[in-house]
Amino acid sequence: MKTTMCACASIALCAPAALAQFGLSSQERSVQGTAQLTSGQEDSGFAEAPGYGVFDESVDGSVSGTGGAMASIHASQSSTITPSTISGTLEASGQVATGSTFVVGQSDGWSNFLVLFSLAAPTPVTFTASGSMSFVGINPDGEPSDLYGVTRVSLLDADTFDPIAGFSFQGGDYDQSAEFAGTLSAGNYAIIARAEFHAYSADLLGPPARSGSGESTAAFSLTVVPAPASALLMSCGLLCARRRR
């Protein structure tokens, strides 16, 4: 019995070092999309996270008009915020076409993520991020209003706004990634992510039908690295279990 108490006491000593966590301050997460035609049809949706935890939502809109005119939009987000892990996958995509009667389509979609958190002590973390953007049917003259998007993921120092890791791009076809593996000092931090898509069919490639499509995606993960003491914690637990037997 005496040995068992010693082993269990070791667990209590090990635990604090193995349980570094984020201090969650605030969050804003939402998805929104609108598809519309110049003839008046419109379909839209919006959803936002009420608090921390899992946010898994999507909105879709689709309208059609005379002569083949159409517009569709999709925006989604699957994200999780816990005291030890912050992660998310964001997407905005759509398609538009101008009909033979010159009814024009427009699509707009957004998936937004913002979380503010703090660290009470220097904490080892791993951060990975990736993003992509692709367009089909852009005006040969490259008019930026035809197809437009934004893909952004940033891990920032919330006090100085200095970037730690991430990327931001807009416009044409891109594929980018970023990572950070190291120790964050005690302080305040933010993760900002956005996937945005906009299309307007009047100036897109044609005839016969002027049409275009595209998507913007972003994904990221920030995780606390278990302290070396976690291995000792596991050993302590096994020792305690053996002694009890």
Give the per-residue pLDDT at 142: 72
Give the per-residue pLDDT at 156: 97
Give the per-residue pLDDT at 228: 66
Give the per-residue pLDDT at 40: 96
Q: How far apart are CA 121 and CA 123, in angstroms?
A: 6
Cβ pair 88, 193 in contact under 8 A = yes
In the numeric block, which tokens belong to residue 218? Answer: 């972003």
Cβ pair 137, 229 in contact under 8 A = no
Give the per-residue pLDDT at 4: 41
Cβ pair 120, 224 in contact under 8 A = no
User: CA-CA distances (angstroms) from residue 42 to 33, 62, 63, 110, 195?
Assistant: 11, 8, 6, 17, 22
Rounded to 10 deg, the angle between the 229-244 and 2-18 helix axes is 160
Helical segments of the chain, H only: 2-18, 229-244
Question: pLDDT averaged over consecutive 10-residue blocks of the chain (245 residues)?
Answer: 41 45 96 97 98 97 94 98 97 94 94 97 96 90 83 97 95 90 96 97 81 96 80 47 46
The dihedrals phi and psi of 91, each to the nearest 5 degrees, come to -150, 145
In the numeric block, which tokens belong to residue 107? Answer: 């699509």
